[in-house]
Structure 1
Amino acid sequence: MLAVPVDAVPDGPSLIHEPKWDGWRAIVFREHDGVYVQSRAGRNLTTYFPDITRVVRAALPPGVVLDGELIVWDRGRTNFAQLQRRVSAGRGLLRLTRECPAHYVLFDLLADADGQVVLDLPLSERRARLERLLAGAPAPLTLTPRTTDMRQVADWLVQWTVAAGIEGVVSKRRDGRYEPGRRGWWKYRTHITTEAIVGGVTGSIHDPDSALLARFDRHGHLRYTGRTHPLTDAQRTELAEMLSPVRPPRRGAVAHPWPEPLPASWSGQLERPEPLPYVQVDPTVVVEIDADVAFEHQRWRHRVRYARARPDVAVHDVPLLLGEEEGYFGEQ
């Protein structure tokens, strides 16, 4: 079952709210002869999570089908990059699972013991059954918190997004059925308004399609931090008027530090990422952006929204690279 994006957390007596975890959505099947882990897109993730399959097999009876989020904790915060590492770890996977074990945060039950399908039961009943199944389960199998208190929701959005790494809130009807493929839930992503430096553009310098963003790290190196959504016509015109080509480096100066094209590994995409052709620009233009709080490798994982140019802000007044300033985003 899926969720439709909303601009505000819905409120009402029939709704329940849960944190939106920053991980991989996964359906887990406890089969009679083992465990199968499937991504939201239908991909087989079983081999990447031997730590999770082991605890599911030991703790739950055959026939159970679960819905939840695979996450990895790192110093008290979710670390999406550690999930990505599992795909490419190869022979180092077992060592990685010991050093950075995964947790499966559960929020729904699709089939009970012996394969009894419970999709048509109300969410409140599915949750009660899930709680009974997980009574005494080991720590890697965790029930997600839930609340009807909007004050608790506000606390999650203010405190947990930075401290714990949640992306926002998912709201559901307490009497709702589980309808695979239907967007019957609501998801609200936490957003921040902040600044970044334009280090390159797709398209051309005179008619940019999107902006490639940068920030300085604490050593003064210009680091790639993400990409904007496609620009509107007005935004293209505004930005083009401010951009300048990269200047030839003076003797002893450092050339533009990014490779061309932008490496596929920088995109944050799991499925078939490709190198990104782009045009380097003189990194002197600061723009205001609207971003969510999901990041990995010190980059925004999702595209951000361009708000406006900030000619009144100097590049060295822009917050430091993600994770290198208090509150992760320089906003706290």
Structure 2
Amino acid sequence: MRAAGVAELPDPRTYRGRLAYEPKWDGWRVISWVSGQRVVLQSRQLRDLTRYFPDLVGHLQAHVGAGAVIDGEMVSWDAVSGRSSFPALQRRVTAGRGLAAEVTARPAYLVAFDLLADVGGEELLRLPLAERRVRLLRLLTGAPPQLLVCPQTLDVDEARGWMRDWVVAGVEGIVVKDLTSRYTPGQAGWLKLKSRTTTEAIIAGVTGTVATPGSLLLGRLDARGRLRYVARTHPLGAAQRGEVAGMLQPALGAHPWPAPLPGAWTGQLANRRPLPYVPVHPSVVAEVEVDLAYEHGRWRHHSRFVRIRAELEPAELPLWSPNGLAA
């Protein structure tokens, strides 16, 4: 079951059902299938992740009875910052022989938020969410701390407080669910509101052409004056393309970035292909809207172009930072 994006949290008084609010964790969505002595962890893209998370497999085998199917989010917390760490999950997949060391250094947790089948294989999809949650709480009573039930509130003001106060823990927004609703796989039956902010970055490249840019490739200067890649925008609308194109000039001579951009710079785990682009002279500053998923000096998700900041020079922006949110 998926969640459709919204611009603000719906007020329960204006909704026909009973609304519940849950924190949106920055991790990997996973369905956990428990069958006898076998556990399968399946990603949203139907990828089998089981062998990369033997710690979670062991906890599920030990505590959850055969036949149960749990929907939730796998997360791992950084011991220094206290935030959830998306790269820690990615390292599991690429660790190879170092997987055991990764498991010890950065344990994984399952934040469960729905129960699709109970012990014994009883399918629960047609039951209302409120009843499915009661069964989930009962199932995970006494479970180890690596198997958590996602917090939930019926108070919209408390949910707004989570968005404000739980950012430091890596919560990236709120998911809104109707407690009377069934579970409909593949359908956008929930709502989600992401925590976002605006910032500025230097336009250093475009997809498409300079005259008709498709999306913008953005950078920040580091303390040594090097231009570091930080983000890519969503595709530009027609009016945005017109605003941007008149400000850009093709790069003359050497450009600080390789062409195409390495897939590791811009791609997700499932998409590591190099990105062809047109380098432009890095002199124009753009204001963009970003979410909170900033890791290793880059925003993991695409940003949204807001406007050109013609009054700003690249050197006026905060310096590139490898850790934490860039200002």
Unaligned runs of 5+ in 1: 249-254
Query: Aligned to 1:82, what secondary structure does the other structure show?
Result: helix
Q: 2: CA distance between counterparts of 1:307 and 1:237?
A: 13
Alignment correspondent of 2:201: 196
Alignment correspondent of 2:3: 3
Structure 2 residue corresponding to 1:179, chosen from 173, 181, 184: 184
> Could you tell me how far 1:322 is from its partner in structure 2?
5.2
Aligned: 1:80 with 2:77: no
Q: Output the amino acid matched with 1:7.
A: A
Query: Aligned to 2:282, what secondary structure does the other structure show?
Result: coil
CA contact (8 A) 1:289 1:306 kept: yes
Q: Bigger shift: 259-268 or 203-212? A: 203-212
> Aligned-pair RMSD on alpha carbons?
1.7
Alignment of 1:1-332 (within 5 A): 1-12=1-12, 14-74=18-78, 75-161=81-167, 163-248=168-253, 256-321=255-320, 324=323, 328-330=325-327
Query: Aligned to 1:78, what secondary structure does the other structure show?
Result: coil
> Could you tell me how far 1:297 is from its partner in structure 2?
2.7
Q: 2: CA distance between counterparts of 1:323 and 1:19?
A: 26
Query: Aligned to 1:234, what secondary structure does the other structure show?
Result: helix
CA contact (8 A) 1:268 1:296 kept: no
Provide TM-score, normalisation by structure 1.
0.91
CA contact (8 A) 1:244 1:281 kept: yes
Query: Aligned to 1:113, what secondary structure does the other structure show?
Result: coil
Gap change, CA 1:291 and 1:28, over 3 Å in 2 = same
Gap change, CA 1:262 and 1:268, over 3 Å in 2 = same
> Could you tell me how far 1:114 is from its partner in structure 2?
1.4
Q: Output the amino acid matched with 1:144.
A: C
Q: Output the amino acid matched with 1:5.
A: G
> Could you tell me how far 1:306 is from its partner in structure 2?
0.9
Deviations 1:43-97 (A, max 9, x none): 1111111111011111111111100001111131011111112221111111111
Q: 2: CA distance between counterparts of 1:124 and 1:306?
A: 39
Moved >6 Å (runs of 4+): none
Q: Output the amino acid matched with 1:329.
A: A
Q: Bigger shift: 123-132 or 289-298? A: 289-298
Deviations 1:229-286 (A, max 9, x none): 12223322322222223344xxxxxx53211110011123222421111122221110
Q: Output the amino acid matched with 2:217.
A: L
Q: 2: CA distance between counterparts of 1:167 and 1:323?
A: 19
Deviations 1:154-183 (A, max 9, x none): 11212223x011221100011221121221
CA contact (8 A) 1:72 1:83 kept: yes
Q: 1: CA distance between counterparts of 2:194 and 2:114?
A: 20
> Could you tell me how far 1:324 is from its partner in structure 2?
4.7
Alignment correspondent of 1:252: none
Q: 2: CA distance between counterparts of 1:102 and 1:324?
A: 21
Q: 2: CA distance between counterparts of 1:157 and 1:329?
A: 19
Identity, % of aligned positions: 49
Query: Aligned to 2:241, what secondary structure does the other structure show?
Result: helix
Q: Output the amino acid matched with 2:131.
A: E
Unaligned runs of 5+ in 2: none
CA contact (8 A) 1:217 1:324 kept: no
Query: Aligned to 1:37, what secondary structure does the other structure show?
Result: strand
CA contact (8 A) 1:68 1:108 kept: yes
Gap change, CA 1:323 and 1:11, over 3 Å in 2 = farther
Query: Aligned to 2:269, what secondary structure does the other structure show?
Result: coil
CA contact (8 A) 1:80 1:295 kept: no
CA contact (8 A) 1:64 1:115 kept: yes
Gap change, CA 1:132 and 1:88, over 3 Å in 2 = same
Provide TM-score, normalisation by structure 2.
0.93
CA contact (8 A) 2:37 2:61 kept: no
Q: Bigger shift: 202-211 or 279-288? A: 202-211
Query: Aligned to 1:153, what secondary structure does the other structure show?
Result: helix
